[in-house]
Structure formats: structure tokens, C-alpha cells
A and B are shown apart, each in its own frame.
Chain A
Amino acid sequence: MTPPDARQYADGPLDPATRRALAPDSPTRADWKRVSDGIAARVLPKHRSTNWGRRAVAGLAVAGCGLIAVLVWRGNGPAPRATLPDVVKIAPDVTDSLAEFAVLPIATDDELQIATLRGDWGTGLVVGEHPLSGELRLATADEVTVERSPAGTEPTSDHGDLPMVFGLKGKRTGE
């Protein structure tokens, strides 16, 4: 006989009674205290000294040094820098009309559940980033150089069943 509560756990979500039945024993107050203290020690700022007299003297000293430094710097420091523009262009815009569409998306490993594999699947499955993400564009005749081929082979725009050559993304001639 399968434990009924365990089966309910697998089916989930749990009703309150089953949840209580399967819940781990709660830690002791001492355990909680130890954990709470550990969190506080790492999260809260460290307790500071309350010797206000010494802190006031130290504060005044720091402020005085700061004031002197500012006066010296204004008298001898470098000329102020020119104001930088708000936006600095670091690369030319590249327009990709299909930038927001994934072409031939490939599943990520998070999206893949393999129950069984039958037949010859080789040694792996490709997941993750598509190697040709973005727009796929046929190369133009200007981008293809045929160095050695059977007589009569030329670039053609008639697709048929012929192999295709894709051009580099963003490098469109004639535009």
C-alpha cells in the first residue's frame, strides 16, 4: 500500500491537514535565535560607539581638513573640465528590421524536457543561442567570389534546390 499522504504530496497542492502531517518539526526557539542573531550580525550596521565628545572632535577635525583641501584645490587646481554631452554615441546605429523577432528560435535548456530518445540522435542536442540569430539574408552577387568551380557555375537568383549562401548580418550592399 502506498502511503496516502505521500501520494497527496506528489499530486499537490496540499490541504492544510496534509501539509501539517508532512511538515518538518519546527526548530527550537534556541535554533531560531541563533539563526536570527546570525542574520542580524550580517545585515544590520555594526553598533557604533556613543562617545559623543570624541566623535564631535573627530568630526570637526575632518570638516576642517576638508575645508582646507577645497580652498587649496580651488586656488591651485586644474581648470574645470568641459561639460560632457548627455549622450555619447559609441557606435553607428545598425537597423535590423527583424531585430525584435527571433528567426528560427532554438529552445533553451530550461524549455526542454527529454522523456526518451529513440533512433540515431548522435551524441547531443543543440540548445541555447541560435548560431544565426536575427535576420537571415541571402548574399548578393557582389559578395560571392567563385574561385574554382565546374564550368558554367554562376551566382543566380533562381533558388530552386540549389544551395544558398547567406550574407553577413548588417552588411547589405547597395544601401
Chain B
Amino acid sequence: MPRPDAATDDELVGRIARGDAAALDALFVRHRELAYRVAYRLLGHDADALDAVQDGFVNALTHLGRFRGQSSFKTWLLKIVSNAALDIGRVRQRRDTRHADTPSDECPWVADDDAPPDAGLERADLRVVLADALAKLPAAQRQTFVLHVDGELSYKDVAEALGISIGTVMSRLFYARQRLKSFLADYVCS
């Protein structure tokens, strides 16, 4: 039997079904960062994103009957994590982060060669700006866009994950990009 960190996802899933805790840990470590990134981008809140990751892993592993043979485990997992994130977002209405982390009126992107760059502040502000812009997209566009850009899924994988055609994926991505650019333009500093 291969070591858990060398086993394929399918092998780990099989071992988890037989109660192998080490296999579960290996599968979790392998996919947790990507799952968290997707959930965070959909929710804009770290604690909510962790809840979505937990719910997503549990549901992905306890509903394997609907998964087998249809896509990779990663695609299956990200689909369920993103659905869990949207559910949590609907319930909690993105209440915390967007109110607590509203960016200041000052423009953090104005180039200032004399001042030392504060990368941490800039990064945090960028995340808030992106969270605000993403929150304005319809849920279907947001989920499609985040699965492709943050989840690193191909058009085909996104189509399989969401049960839609590749043409619909491309259409949603097109409109999502247009809207995001429009929303981000509101942050132009005068």
C-alpha cells in the first residue's frame, strides 16, 4: 500500500471509506489550500470560508455515490465547497467582512517612489476590493468565475462541476469579467 502522500486521490478516497484516518489527513492537506481559496473568494470572510471547507469535505466524502467516474476528486470537491460557500453566504449575507474591512477613502495604489511600500496593507485592501466586486456578481457568474480563476479548473472541468455546457461557462466568464472590470473601475483614484 503506498504512503498516503504518494497515493492518488482515488486510492485515498477508497482508504477513507475503510476508515483510514491517515488517508483522510493526506487528502485534506493536498486540497485544503485550493478549497480555502475558492471558499474565501466566494465569502470574503476567513472563518466562514473554513466552515465551507469543512462542510465541503464532509459532503464530498459522504456523497461519493454521486461522484464516481464523472470527474476528478478535485473538481468534485471544489464544486461542493463552492456550493457550501454560496449557501453560507446566503445565510450570513456576507455580513462581517464587508462592513468591518471597508477600504479607506485613500488610494492605496497611487505610486509613491519616496515612501516604502506597505505590501501587507496593499494586499489586504486589494482583497477587500475584490471581495466587494465579486459580491456584486450574480451567484452563478461568481461561482463560475471563482472556480476557473481561483480553483484553477479548466472550462471543461467547470462545465462538469456545474452541470452546464462549455459555452455557458464561457458566456458567464465573459460577462463576469466585464462586470468586474466595471466594478473595479469605481476604485479609480482621483
Neighbour of A42 across the interface among B19, B28, B58, CB < 8 A: B58
Q: Does B54 contact A (CB under 8 A)?
A: yes
Determine if A5 is an interface residue (Cβ-Cβ < 8 Å): yes
Of A21-29, A131-139, A159-167, the stretch lying at the interface with chain B is A21-29
Q: Which chain B residues numbered 114 to 164 have a C-beta less than 8 Å away from chain A?
A: 123, 126-127, 129-130, 133, 140, 145, 148-149, 152, 164
A22 touching B152 by the CB < 8 A rule? no
Given A32-B32, A43-B61, A44-B24; A3-B19 close (CB under 8 Å): no
Residues of B within 8 Å of A, CB-based: how many? 52
Whether the Cβ atoms of A43 and B58 lie closer than 8 Å is yes
Contacts of B76 in A (CB 8 A): none
Chain A facing B: main interface SS? helix
Complex alpha-carbon distance, A61 and B126, angstroms = 67
Of the residues B36, B133, B181, contact of A24 by C-beta under 8 Å: B36
A42 and B21 CA atoms in complex are apart in Å by 12
Q: Which residues of B contact A115 (CB under 8 A)?
A: 175
> Do residues A21 and B172 form an inter-chain contact, with CB atoms below 8 A?
no
Closest Cβ–Cβ distance, residue B128 to chain A (whole Å): 11
Q: Are B129 and A12 touching (Cβ within 8 A)?
A: no
Q: Least Cβ distance of A42 to chain B in Å?
A: 5
Q: Check B6 for interface membership: any CB of A closer than 8 A.
A: no
With contacts A2-B187, A36-B25, A43-B57 known, is A22 near B130, CB below 8 A? yes
Q: A11-B177, A24-B46, A35-B54 given; name 4 further pairs at CB < 8 Å.
A: A1-B110, A10-B181, A40-B21, A45-B19
Contact surface of A with B, Cβ cutoff 8 Å: 1-7, 9-14, 21-27, 31-32, 34-36, 38-40, 42-45, 110-111, 113, 115
